[in-house]
Every structure is written in structure tokens, then in C-alpha cells.
Amino acid sequence: MLPRWQQAFPQAQASSEDDLQACPDQFDLVWLRLQAKPSIGPQMLAVRQRFSSTAFVVLSDTPSDNEALAAFAGAARGYCNSHATPAILQQVGMVVLQGGIWIGESLMQRLVAQTDNLVAASSIQNSNRIDSLTPRELEVAQAIASGGSNREIANRLGITERTVKAHVSAILEKLDVRDRLQLALLLKNQAFA
């Protein structure tokens, strides 16, 4: 394990591919550090076969968007640089353990750029929905679109995380979007409309 991993997760257990059979059957989260050989597919397959119901994050020494897409196609719940800071590694782990997906900024920008046309097609309909948000909901929505976590939004607006969660639920329902990414795309498109 790299020292930064030990710092981020002092209770973590490291295993080589050969040691996978000796590992306990259940972990909360599995981290796969990609090796130079073989390619990503066989490495992910080995992890998926051993830990079929466990969420996993792929770590790469030389991350790329194409490798990230391959990781997500193989059911990874996260993808990041294996040399990320302990704080980032902890954040990745927390997001994935809470059912989220962690993708890097570069891939996020690529996805946003590729989906702009889809969002633009529904911008007129969604404009009316944005007008249905209360001023506070609009503040929360804009904070979400700028990447704020519930805790960060709560601190910034001087409200509780529970209140932020209630606002998020109302916003997603009023705007008929599934998640924070769709909300961010919608608001980004509205800013340029």
C-alpha cells in the first residue's frame, strides 16, 4: 500500500491478486489498483468474480478518460488517480459507500459537453420548472450545480444538512431530474440560454 493510502484508511487490508482467495468474503469497499499488465478488463473481472456484490473503485497510476469509461463499463463505482491525496481518497470512499459514483473532473466535463445537446432540447420546458423553485431551493440548486456537497451547502447557507436534503428532494421532483448531475446539466444549460 502506498503511504497515502495507509494514511487515508489505517484499517485497510492490502492483497495481491494471488491473495484474493485468502481474503474474507465481505468488504464494504474494494479498491483495485491497476497494474501495467494485463489490461483493465481481466483485472476488473478477477475482482468482480471474487467480490460480486461489493462496490469497487479503480485506481490508476496513469488515469485517462478512456480507461475510466472502461472501468465504469465494468461496473466500477469510482475511478481516480492512485496518487490522490488521503483526503480525496477518503472522499471517494465516502461517496461510493453512500451509493454514489465518483468520476474525475476531466470525464465529468466530457460527459457534460456531450450531453449539452440533449439538455438544450428540453430547455424551454425546464425553464418553466426552474421558475417553480422557491428562492432558497434555487440557492441550493445552484450550490449543487457548482459541486457542493450537502454539508458544504448547509454550512454556506447556514442551514442543517437535513434541510438541504429536503430541498434537494423537492428540487429533483419539481425539475423532474434523477440526480445531481442532471440538475447541474440543466442549470448549466439555463445559464447559457
Pick the CATH number of 3-103 from 3.20.20.80, 1.10.3720.10, 2.70.150.10, 3.40.50.2300: 3.40.50.2300
For 109, which DSSP code?
Answer: H
- For residues 161 and 180, give the distance between their C-alpha atoms in angstroms, rounded to a whole number: 16
Per-residue model confidence as pLDDT tens digits over 15-74: 665 555 555 556 778 888 888 788 888 887 887 777 777 888 888 888 888 888 888 888
E strand map for 16-131: 29-33, 55-60, 78-81
pLDDT, the chain, mean: 81
- For residues 184 and 172, give the distance between their C-alpha atoms in angstroms, rounded to a whole number: 11
Confidence band, pLDDT 50/70/90 cuts, at residue 193: very low
Q: Comparing C-alpha atoms, which of 51, 64, 69 is closest to residue 13?
A: 51
Strands 78-81 and 55-60: parallel
In the numeric block, which cell numbers belong to residue 24? Answer: 474474507
Per-residue model confidence as pLDDT tens digits over 71-123: 888 888 899 988 889 899 899 889 988 888 888 778 887 777 766 655 555 55
What does the angle CA 6 – CA 10 – CA 14 come to, to the nearest 5 degrees?
60
The distance from CA 66 to its chain's CA centroid, rounded to whole angstroms, is 17
In the numeric block, which cell numbers belong to residue 16? Answer: 495481491
Amino acid at 170: A
Classify domain 109-192 at the CATH topology level.
Arc Repressor Mutant, subunit A (1.10.10)
Domain ranges of the chain: 3-103, 109-192
In the numeric block, which cell numbers belong to residue 159? Answer: 442551514
Amino acid at 186: L
Pseudo-torsion of CA 100, 104, 109, 114, nearest 10°?
-60
> For the chain, how big is the Rg over CA atoms in Å?
19
The SS3 of residue 34 is: coil
User: pTM higher than 0.75, yes or no?
Assistant: no
